[in-house]
Amino acid sequence: MISAQNQTTWPSADSFLRTSPFAKYLHLASPPPLLRSMGRSERDCIARHLLDLDTHDRYLRFGYLVSDDQLQRYVDNLDFERDEVFGIYDRRLELIAMAQLAFAPDGNHDSCAELGLSVAKRARGRGYGARLFARAAIVARNEGVGLVIHMLSENAAMLKIVSNAGASVVRSGPAPRPGLVSPWSWRRPGTRG
């Protein structure tokens, strides 16, 4: 009989792969994460995703330092009828990225839809931000409106996504207050608004 002490414990294939130097490429072997529209029943899921963002990410996403209460209010007030809210889910069906494409409250199609997006830290650098952006660009085009993103000039990843799409970034105003980097916005060349 072999005693338990003499038995070699092998790591599971899953944990072996996760600790290997190839771990960062694992997502490439998985089916592409699901991107789909979200509804009002998913407010809790959206809140969890946003509350997980650290202070700096919240600042990049919303342009100011957002408290947990303010984030919760933002989620409670999301208008799923007027706006397009969509997310990306991993293979465990956990929300790893989400975006809100906000249309003008009065349905004014001469104005632009505004995009805000975020990707969970653990899922960054895999093209999910670019996928959300591409989806938003298609929805805005189908609705016949321009697309605008307010972003801070320090937001290198967002600026990259936008410039990869062939857009030029325009400075939309002076710094609102000392210490806050000027907001920038992107407008698709040739669109209305």
Ligand X SMILES: CC(C)(COP(=O)(O)OP(=O)(O)OC[C@H]1O[C@@H](n2cnc3c(N)ncnc32)[C@H](O)[C@@H]1OP(=O)(O)O)[C@@H](O)C(=O)NCCC(=O)NCCS
Residue-wise burial string across 165-181, b where 16 or more C-beta atoms lie within 10 A, e elsewhere: eebebeeeeeeeeeeee
**Binding residue for ligand X, selected from 8, 10, 156, 178, defined by CB under 6 A:** 156
Instruction: Report the alpha-carbon distance of residue 12 to residue 43 in Å, rounded.
Output: 36
- Of 24, 122, 160, 192, the one binding ligand X (CB under 6 A) is 160
CA 120/CA 94 separation, integer angstroms = 10
CB of 11 to ligand X, least distance (A): 29
Question: Does 86 interact with ligand X (rule: CB under 6 A)?
Answer: no
Of residues 17 through 36, those in contact with ligand X by CB under 6 A are none
> Should residue 100 be labelled a site residue for ligand X when binding is judged by CB under 6 A?
no
The distance of closest approach from Cβ of residue 108 to ligand X in the complex, given in angstroms and rounded to an integer, is: 22
Residues sharing a CB contact under 8 Å with residue 185, sequence separation 6 or more, in sequence order? 148, 149, 150, 151, 169, 170, 172
Candidates 38, 49, 61, 86: give the one binding ligand X (CB under 6 A): 61
- Is residue 147 near ligand X by the rule CB under 6 A? no
Assign 2 to helix, strand or coil. Answer: coil
Binding flag, residue 161, ligand X (CB under 6 A)? yes
Q: Is 119 in the site for ligand X (CB under 6 A)?
A: yes
**Using rule CB under 6 A, residue 183 touches ligand X:** no
Structure tokens at 157: 């990843």
